[in-house]
Structure 1
Amino acid sequence: MNEPSEDPQVHSLDARSLRGLAHPLRMRLLTALRHGGPATASQLAQKLGESSGATSYHLRQLAAYGFVEDAPEHGKGRERWWQAVHTGVRFDSALLRDGNPEVRGSADLFLHEIANHHTRELATWLGTRDAWSEAWNRSSDMSDWTLSLTPERALDLIHKMHDLVESFRVPAPDDGAPDVEQVRVHTHVLPLPTD
């Protein structure tokens, strides 16, 4: 779906690493470490409503595939602390056409889990928006458009949206303000069947 990444903080998925990541709990664990910072298996189990045995096992699997690593500056007790290795992953749509059906199945599961994650984030926002300030309520967005585009123009739109979002990663003068929060941006560009 996206072009190969040149950013060392973004891991480009291949067939091997995709098989290691394409599991609902592993994807949730990795997201929790990316957004919340280093944590132990027990802390993640409590946060995600899972058993610490399950989180510990899947963290070790994520480590074997290079997605997480020890966070030694946090490991002062008996529990092992984990941290994400990369800030994100890049998915290549060629994985959906791989000759190995196991790879195609992993690619399909991965994309469905991303869609489920977006839905959970949106549902969480809708369920908790009253707890946020009026400024944040005014500054949220849930929009959609229907456009008539060729595949080439759709790809151009995707690149322009990504470039715009990336431009906001540059620290702004107000990044130290007390009301700065992490903000999630979801984009979906997909063709619709017509009757």
Structure 2
Amino acid sequence: MTQPEESKYRKLDARSLRGIAHPLRMQLLSALRLHGPATASRLAERLGESSGATSYHLRQLATHGFVEDAPEQGKGRERWWRAVDQGLEFDSTQLADPDPAVRGAADVFLHEIATTHTRELSTWLGTREDWQPTWSGATDMSDWTVRLTPERTRELIGKIHELLESYEDEDAPGTERVRFHTHAFPIESE
């Protein structure tokens, strides 16, 4: 069930969007991506949930192809899970889908992404003193406002994504996982 190597990101269609659009499912998938394979019990502990809830939602994620068994991790009866993809691609045209269930799932998905970004940034701000001083000078909280057409906005987003993918530096000494959040949306002109 693992996707080919060239496809690190999964495009969400209407069915898979409905399968992922739940706050706990999105948190479980994120935890598996960030921390690697885990059992429902370990994920429950990490996320402050019951193992029954995490187990149920992991099975739902598996039904929709977001996670799969990681049997090489387990011992005995433990069931380990791993993320299938490294990321998701959301087609914003689904916000205009005629099916209200798809539009509702898209709305839940996007709001959960925004909540996750806020939580990650707040966690960094609350723990930044725990990091070596060199990391303090290597962070950024910027915002820009530029005048663009929708076409130029899509072009810029594509270039930003390409640039970020070109910077993967896994084996260098001192490497840490670094999160980048990008947000591009129009605002009302005065």
In structure 2, C-alpha distance between the alignment counterparts of 1:142 and 1:115, rounded to whole Å: 15
In structure 2, C-alpha distance between the alignment counterparts of 1:167 and 1:148, rounded to whole Å: 27
Report deviation, 1:69.
0.6
What residue number does 1:91 align with?
90
State the aligned residue count.
186
Report deviation, 1:7.
4.0
What residue number does 1:75 align with?
74
Q: What secondary structure sits across from 2:82 in the alignment?
A: strand
Q: Which deviates more from structure 2 when the two are superposed, residues 147-156 or residues 8-17?
A: 147-156
In structure 2, C-alpha distance between the alignment counterparts of 1:9 and 1:144, rounded to whole Å: 28
Q: What secondary structure sits across from 1:73 in the alignment?
A: helix
Q: Which deviates more from structure 2 when the two are superposed, residues 84-93 or residues 7-16?
A: 7-16
What residue number does 2:109 align with?
110
In structure 1, C-alpha distance between the alignment counterparts of 2:9 and 2:152, rounded to whole Å: 25
AA in 2 matched with 1:185 = F
What residue number does 1:135 align with?
134
Report deviation, 1:13.
0.5
Structure 2 gaps, min length 5: none
Moved over 3 A (4+): none
Structure 1 gaps, min length 5: 1-5
Report deviation, 1:98.
1.2
Identity of aligned residues (%): 64
Q: Deviations over 1:66-113 (max 9, x none)?
A: 000100111113221000011111111121111210001001110111
What residue number does 1:122 align with?
121
Query: What TM-score, normalized by structure 1, do the two folds share?
Result: 0.91
Report deviation, 1:126.
0.3
AA in 2 matched with 1:194 = S
In structure 1, C-alpha distance between the alignment counterparts of 2:18 and 2:177, rounded to whole Å: 29
In structure 2, C-alpha distance between the alignment counterparts of 1:192 and 1:158, rounded to whole Å: 17
What residue number does 1:11 align with?
10
Query: Does residue 1:192 correspond to 2:171, yes or no?
Result: no
In structure 1, C-alpha distance between the alignment counterparts of 2:172 and 2:153, rounded to whole Å: 36
What residue number does 1:65 align with?
64
**Superposition RMSD on alpha carbons, in Å?**
1.4
AA in 2 matched with 1:124 = T
Q: Deviations over 1:100-149 (max 9, x none)?
A: 10001001110111111100000000000000011011111111111122
